[in-house]
Structure 1
C-alpha cells in the first residue's frame, strides 16, 4: 500500500505567502466595511430614538387635543 495516495503536497511557500497576503487584505476590507456599517447603524439608532421621542410628544399633543375637543363638546351640549 502506497502511503502517498490521497496525500497532496503543499503549495510552494511563495504561493502560500501570496494567498495569505490576499486573505489578509480581504479580511481588512471586510473589517473596514463592518466598521462603516456599524457607524451607519449607530446613526440609524440615534435617528430612531429621536423619531420615537418626537412620536411620543406628538401622541401626547393629540391626546390633549382630544381631551379639549371632548370638553368643548360637553360645554356646547350644556349651552344648548
Structure 2
C-alpha cells in the first residue's frame, strides 16, 4: 500500500449507512465512486484492530523500548 500525504486541516472521506452496508462520501459530500480509493479505505479499516492491539500491548510493556515510544506517540495523537 502506498502512503499518501493527508491534509489534516480539511475533512476526509465520510461514511454513511446505506441499506445493509455503507456508502462513502468525498469531502464535498458527493458519493465516492473511485474503487481504488474505497479499497484503500477498507484495507486500512481491516488493519486497525490489530494495530490498536499492538499499541496497547506495547504501552503495557516495561522499559523505554522503541516500540513503547512509538506506541505512545501514536496513541496521543
TM range (shorter): 0.3 to 0.5
Higher-Rg structure is: 1
TM norm structure 1: 0.31
TM-score (norm 2): 0.32
Q: Which has the larger strand fraction?
A: 2
